[in-house]
Amino acid sequence: MNRKDQGTAISTSRRKVVLGAGAAVAAAMTVPLLSSEEAANASTTNQPTGSLASYRRASGKIVTKDGTEIFYKDWGAGQPIVFSHGWPLSADDWDAQMMFFLAKGYRVIAHDRRGHGRSTQTNDGNDMEHYAADLAALTEALDLHNAIHIGHSTGGGEVVAYVARHGLARTAKIVLISAVPPIMVKNGANPDGTPIEVFDGFRKALLENRSQFYLDVPSGPFYGFNRTGAKVSEGTIRNWWRQGMMGGAKAQYDCIQAFSETDFTSDLKKITLPALVLHGDDDQVVPYKDSAVRSAKFLQNATLKIYPGLPHGMLTTHHEVINEDILKFIKS
């Protein structure tokens, strides 16, 4: 064998080794990280039943009346749990909850808000009225009844607006996590709110360098990674950045006004359903005393739980605790 043939043989051999190792890693990654009982539940609930026509896609899009495409994930069977994400993220922010409740035998649905994630990068309609109407269109398209609606941050406002204005008959319970209602911005009716200058700063940072801004937020206040002794997760920071950069800059810019200036007081008062309000007392984004405490008073049937030392993004950093508390509430 000449030197050229030897080199070709070695190169081919290396490729085979690399491909073989890659296949082994891929095979290992398919092993479910669930207990045997949970894996059985998840496997069973995802199987098609009845005719092929009755089989639901695991993900897809609906088109709203104004032509906006809303991306959603829809996994499992059983009582539906619908998740509404925070700004400027996507349905992917609910991974820890989707997998947990899927394994418990629930049907789990999460969508990308208009202008966010894989949904249409909208120029207009980036307000709570449209967010609530989009969620109503999704629940109708998927024919959801007796649903549990769970919202984080901006998504908490979306849930409140949807249930009060469209969804009382289709909803069983709601859960608000680090949510923005009743209203964030400081004004005459909300003297303890967050000054408008803070939200102007958000808008300025987004316009100047959205990519850097979307690194600074998760690296600092969102997950409490700026606190002394915090266990910083680079993967969590990068996942936040990834989700944010998937969405449209215009829609995310508009959404700052939607989550900060919308007054949900009248919506909260209309909701008679059981509600669980969860918030960390070290939330540096949505201060709990001006949000969770007040929302629980306006809701007619609320349970309030404040977690000492937990941050705004506690659904990610402390998902084991949050998931178990939500499960207890759903089963109660």
Q: Looking at the annotation, which residues are catalytic?
A: 153, 283, 312
Secondary structure (3-state) at 273 = coil
Q: What is the DSSP string of 80-125?
A: EEEEE--TT--GGGGHHHHHHHHHTT-EEEEEPPTTSTTS---SS-
Q: By C-alpha distance, which of 243, 225, 215, 226 is closest to 155?
A: 243
What three-state secondary structure class fits 64?
coil
Q: Parallel, antiparallel, or unpaired: how do β-strands 59-63 and 69-75 relate? A: antiparallel
Distance CA 222, CA 203 (A): 17
Strand-pairing partners, residue 305, are 278
Report helix, strand or coil for 28: helix
Helix (H) or strand (E) holding 201: helix 196-219
Helix (H) / strand (E) element for 245: namely helix 234-246
| Angstrom distances, CA of residue 235 to CA of 33, 97, 225, 325 | 18, 17, 13, 25
Cα–Cα distance, 293 to 281 (Å, whole number): 11
How far apart are the C-alpha atoms of 257 and 124, rounded to whole Å?
13
